[in-house]
Structure formats: C-alpha cells, structure tokens
Amino acid sequence: MREETLTRALNRYDQSPHLVFWETTKACSLACRHCRASAQLDALPGELSTQEGFALIDQIADMPGPSPILVFTGGDCFARADLARLIGYARSRGLRLGIAPSVTDRLTREALEEMYALGVRSVSISLDGANPESHDTLRGIPGHFDKTIETLHMMRDLGFRLQVNTTVMKHNAREMAEIFSLLRETGVSIWEVFFLVGVGRGIQILEVDPADAEDICHFLVDATSYGMTVRTVEAPFFRRVQAEREPFGAEDPRSHFELGELYGALREGLGREEGSNDRPIRSTTLATGDGRGIIFVGFDGEVHASGFLPIALGNVKSESLGDIYTANPLLTTIRSGQFIGECGRCDYRRLCGGSRARAFARSGEVLGDDPSCIRTRVARRIALPLA
C-alpha cells in the first residue's frame, strides 16, 4: 500500500469507520465449536428493537465523510423477523450493506431473493473445512458442508457477489489450499480468512502458532495471484507479509524468507490449481483493524472495537456511535498506534497494528503485542538473557 494511500485511509478512520458490524441477534440454530458470539437458539433479552435499530442506522448514516458499510451479522441475522425492514430502512438512508447469515433452514431461495430485491448484493457465509468431516465437526450439524456448497451455488445463480469466510485454526490449517480450490470451483471471488482468537466457544480450540500463521499468510499472498481477493480478520500482519513480498513478485518466497513445512505443503497444493497464476501479487486489504476503521455493535447496543474484543466502550441507546468511535480514549490510542512492546516499535505499526483482540485475550493488555505475529516471537527470543 502506497504511503500516501495509507495516510489518507488512516486520516479517514480517525473520523469514521469503514465497516460497522451489527450483531443483530445472538439467536442461531447452529452450535459452532468456534463461535465468537456463543450464539444460542433464542434471542437474549435486551436485543435492540426495530425502532432502536432504525436509530442506529441513522447514527451510521449521519457520520461524516463516506458512509460506512453496514454489515448485518449475528448469531444469525435471518433469525430477526424485522431484517427486511431494517435493510430497507438502511437502503433508504443511502448505506452500503452486507449480510453475513448462518447457513440454516432460514436461508432459503425466497429469503435471498427478497434481499436481492432490497438491493443487497454482498452476502458472506462461512466454510471452515475442505470436506464434510472437517466442516461438519466444527459446525455441529451433519450435512452442513453439503448445504453450504449448495447455498453458494444458489447465491451465485441469483447474482450475488460471493464471499466466503473461513476461520483458520490448528484443526484446518493444512486444508487451506483445498478450501481455496473449492472456492474457485464454486465461483467465489472474495475470501475472508479469520485467524481464530480464543473468545466465546473458540476458547476451547487451538489457534495456529506464529510460524504457521506466517506460512499461511505467505500462502494467502500467493492466492491473490490467481485473481482471488483475499482479506484477513484478526491477522493484520498479513499486510506486512504482502509488503515484504512485493519486491520479489511471484518468486518462491522460501529463497528470501524462513518459511516452514506448512507453507511448502500449501504451496504444493496451490501448484495443482488450473488456470493462470501470472497476475501480479496485489495488495487487496485496507489498513483496518480493531477500532481502526472497524467498529462493532453488540446485540444490546454495546459498542466494541471488534466482535472479538470484549471491552465495552459505550452503548448506542444512550450515546451516538459516531461520538463513541471518534472520542473514546481507547480507540483514539489504538488509532494513534501507541502500542506497547514490539508492536509499538514495529516499522509496520501503521499498516498493521496487530490484533488488539488477541493481545487482550492472551495477556489482558489490549495495547500489547499480538502473540500470533512472528516478529513479536523473534523479538522476545532476542530479548531473553543469555544463560
């Protein structure tokens, strides 16, 4: 990312976010083992009402500068009976929208046709394994893998822009090349890869270690050369990897970086892909992060820097989301890059900034080092006293 583009983006993020995620409900009929929201069958008391939802949409539309993109998520946003009314109102206020539903019996052709008629073009659903055994084990529903692939085909036929969200963890790290191949076959153009943070039910599942995270990021950079738009969530160090790779083009990065066996296996899988991979490796992500260009509104109106960072910053029932975003001391500190440790010293702190959610989950220090970044591990090793 060019320096002037980065500066322009960061200046904008001081005024308003690029993305607002609204956890419309905790209700969901799935029981995913890694669920951030610890979703459950029924909605919890205190969920924003329809009128309170309209008020939130007004707050977002009234933010200065370009309107943020509002993403309806959950739980399962389709569990809300008023979803169409909320989306219709958001469209009337001129907001750009996305929806991130769960693949359940509510996600029918008729429901998607209604969303399309309302002007929604971006729908993202999750695929967390390359086969039924892997995906269904995480989702807790036999047959869910096949249902997900069927839904992707239906969305494609209806004209939606296909985005798949994949949470990468120890369980599925070696399947990433197979998942990529499956997405290409299905016509998916955007792949958003979530690097697991141990919150909610996900606390029971192993995150990838820093060396494997580095290998996966290099693999994801390779994937962009096949024309796939790749984004990461809670892995902003992916942008650092992109920047480091840029001078070397499509060369095998193993000759320049100390990558591990996992990268070799994933690259081998990628090499079996049909079609050209001679497109230039490109930067496809924005310099967003927890509280920096991103803000999260919980089911009850509580505001958080992200859905993975359980620090309440205020509530939209009593304060404007715009005021919380621009004035909250924690958020202004994050956006100014005043981090502790290696993240605070890193040359890439403006482009990356580390996962604030993972720093907090591991150490309780929201401004501390992101423990999944290999740079922080190397820095810790160098700092150890000699025996």
pTM, to two decimals:
0.92
Is the pLDDT at 384 greater than 90? The verdict is no
CA atoms within 13 A on the CB side of 51: 0
Is the pLDDT at 215 greater than 90? The verdict is yes
Decide: residue 42, CB within 10 A, 0-12 exposed, 13-18 middle, 19+ buried. exposed
387 within 8 A of 358, measured Cβ to Cβ: no
Quote the pLDDT of residue 382: 43
Summarize pLDDT for 164-199 with one digit per residue, the tens.
999 999 999 999 999 999 999 999 999 999 999 976
Task: Work out the end-to-end distance of the chain between its first and last CA atoms, rounded to an integer number of angstroms.
Answer: 42
Burial 262-296 (b: 16+ CB within 10 A, else e): bbebbbebbeeeeeebeeebebbbbbbbbbbbbbb
Tokens of 220: 């994801």
For the segment 228-237, the average pLDDT, to the nearest whole number, is 95
Quote the pLDDT of residue 272: 85
Q: Which CATH number fits domain 3-271: 3.90.550.10, 3.40.50.1980, 3.20.20.70, 3.30.1050.10?
A: 3.20.20.70
Q: 69-78, 105-114, 136-145: which has the minimum mean pLDDT?
A: 136-145
How far is 296 from 223, CA to CA, in rounded Å? Answer: 29
Query: Which DSSP string do the residues of 343-382 spell out, in sequence order?
Result: HHH-TTTTT----HHHHHHHHS-TTS--TTSHHHHHHHHH
Q: Can you tell me which residue has the tokens 């085909």?
A: 153
DSSP-derived letter for residue 26 is S
Q: Where are the domains of the chain?
A: 3-271, 337-387
Is the pLDDT at 202 greater than 60? The verdict is no
DSSP-derived letter for residue 385 is P
Summarize pLDDT for 16-41 with one digit per residue, the tens.
999 999 999 999 988 676 665 565 77
* Residue with the larger pLDDT of the pair 216 and 225: 216
Is the pLDDT at 387 greater than 50? The verdict is no
CA atoms within 13 A on the CB side of 271: 8
91 within 8 A of 118, measured Cβ to Cβ: yes
Tokens of 98: 């996305």
Percentage of the chain exceeding pLDDT 90: 79
